[in-house]
């Protein structure tokens, strides 16, 4: 989901946690959001591709942009 779509879910309290974690597919970091009904929702671009960031700080800023004030950073492998 894009940042705009995720912001709408955040405003309706459908997202309960933001997680930044290492990407399995690339050498970088991804942002996922835990949905209140379970499961993770990834941050994607407008084409539906998972967004990957070069560093934790950039990924964290995207989670903040969605609306979260706290972000969990998952351990690197």
Mean pLDDT of successive 10-residue segments in the chain (77 residues)? 97 98 92 97 94 96 97 82
What is the predicted pLDDT for the residue at 76?
A: 62
Longest CA–CA separation in the chain, Å: 33
For residues 43 and 62, is the Cβ–Cβ distance under 8 A?
A: yes
What is the predicted pLDDT for the residue at 75?
A: 80
What is the predicted pLDDT for the residue at 54?
A: 95
Is the Cα torsion angle 18, 70, 76, 37 positive or negative in sign? negative
Whole-prediction pTM value?
A: 0.91
**Among all chains, which residue has been given the structure tokens 């950039």?**
58
What is the predicted pLDDT for the residue at 57?
A: 97
């Amino acid at each position: 989901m894009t940042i705009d779509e995720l912001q709408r879910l955040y405003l309706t309290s459908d997202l309960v946690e933001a997680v930044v974690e290492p990407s399995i597919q690339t050498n970088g970091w991804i942002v996922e959001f835990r949905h209140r009904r379970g499961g993770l929702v990834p941050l994607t671009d407008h084409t539906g591709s998972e967004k990957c960031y070069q560093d934790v700080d950039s990924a964290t800023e995207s989670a903040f942009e969605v609306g979260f004030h706290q972000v969990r950073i998952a351990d690197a492998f």
